[in-house]
A = this chain, B = another copy of it.
């Protein structure tokens, strides 16, 4: 493998000059630049980033820790991040935490070994050790999805509590009174919990409360939603609306209604969260809340690139959410 020294020799310049050409840094005479560039091309030189990172004590890697890849939500965020990083020198290294803060901590530490330029993670809740690393590290930090709390550096997302609250207000305004809720078993999905709390608060303010709940004993999925709704309705007849923690489960709910001949919206309202494309492409578009996942990822990565140094103050960016009225509630 050719090294920078080989390039420098061929171009008849010093290593450091060749290095400057590679990094497009510092003043370089155009003729010299061209000579170095042609030497690079001739040798097929590829810079060694490990050496570069070691020498400069900083890398072009950006650590991305996501809770899951099982539904499209986090890939959407990742897509946003990747979009912002295209055309920059930064590269995302990804880890999946399975919604487990201890796994998050373990992966974070292993990522720090690369001296990343920035760390992106989901949520504001981390282990004390992880939080300590994040606070004391010489890198930027973005905490995504959630803004209900105090970030280490930057938070980009929306208030899930408020989304839950608005959901409740919206459904009450639409005339629904007998609320059910179908959850899944990921108790560490803080954001789903925050939406749940917001929903309960809105109901309480309206003199109502959830009259039925069912927790599906497994991860979130369309099938989970379908089965959960079936059980919920069997146990508590007379519900007029069921709120789901996300669109996947809500679509399962709709599928159950289609199967069981229940008139969605008239007889039973169905409300989700996320605003996935597929729910909106249905003949009866899902009533839900649009979370701006791509935007969250993109905005976060862009913000992180603005400055290498962590500024004094913390930044909170609210990407907001939209209620999609849809046709199911």
Contacts and interface: CB of A to CB of B under 8 A. Distances in A.
A84 B232 CA distance: 37
- Count of this chain's copies in the oligomeric assembly: 2
Nearest to A96: B82
Given A75-B72, A79-B69, A251 B95 contact: no
What 3 pairs across the A-B complex have the smallest Cβ distances? A222-B281, A50-B53, A75-B75
A71 B94 CA distance: 18
Contact of A283 (B109, B115, B258, B283): B258
Interface stretch (A13-21, A41-49, A206-214): A41-49
Interface string A264-284: 000000000000011011110
B278 A248 contact: yes
Interface string A41-78: 00000111111011000010100000001111011101
Interface of A: 46-51, 53-54, 59, 61, 69-72, 74-76, 78-79, 82, 89, 91-96, 109-115, 221-223, 226, 248, 251-252, 255, 258-259, 277-278, 280-283
Given A248-B278, A277-B222, A281-B251, A94 B92 contact: yes
A252 B223 contact: no
Contacts of A112: 46
Contact of A113 (B48, B72, B221, B223): B48
